Amino acid sequence: MFTGIIEDLGTVKKINKTQITVETKLDDINIGDSICVSGICLTVSDLASSRVHEFTADISEETLKKTNLGELKIGSIINLERALKSDGKLGGHFVTGHIDGTGKILKIKKSGNSEIWQFSIPENLSKYIAEKGSVAIDGISLTVAEKKTNSFSTAIIPHTLNNTTLKEKKNGDTVNLETDILAKYVLQQKEKNKITLETLKKAGFYD
């Protein structure tokens, strides 16, 4: 489990269809650890020598299909976050690292000291997006400011812009999307326990 608070900007040193090697300033990384790489939960499979902070993680075919990982190249900057410890602070929201799909940056505009970013969202994910709710974009915990049919907007403060990969992004770029896990559970329960006229009749409340 992660929080969506980015700890470091890593650099891709090697990447192919099965593995990615990343240079990072983060320490306390061990083989078997979960690392959130631009929103994607990957497992550390190898470490470089102690002189260089580098780790390697395996990539599945499904991950390549469902995320923007295949667009990365050597030198690309990525968001990194280590898994939340039991005594850690939940500064953002619960992020699983399991990407729901990808979206596109539609518009970026200034709003005082901040910026308003508009993203497209696949139709099947739209129901999980709510104004004032949480969403993870490339692993960054953000709050939805406005929702439309197939898009949503969020305010990006200077600190977030300067300390994440958003500073490298532009209109048209692809981003990884993970909707709020709590919203998923709530909607699943509502659909599972959906009350209709027929269920009321069967329960004897209506005839």
Query: Please, what are the domains in the chain?
Result: 8-82 (2.40.30.20), 101-192 (2.40.30.20)
pTM over 0.85: yes
Higher pLDDT, 190 or 168: 168
pLDDT in tens, 48-94: 866 568 999 999 999 999 999 999 999 999 999 999 877 777 777 88
Higher pLDDT, 181 or 87: 181
Give the range among 27-36, 114-123, 146-155, 183-192 with minimum mean pLDDT: 183-192
- Reported as a pLDDT band with limits 50, 70 and 90, residue 142 is very high
pLDDT in tens, 93-116: 889 999 999 999 999 999 999 999
What is the pLDDT at residue 200?
A: 45
**Closest listed residue to residue 22, CA positions, set 98, 80, 97, 82:** 80
Higher pLDDT, 47 or 199: 47
What is the pLDDT at residue 85?
A: 79
How is residue 56 written in tokens? 């390697």
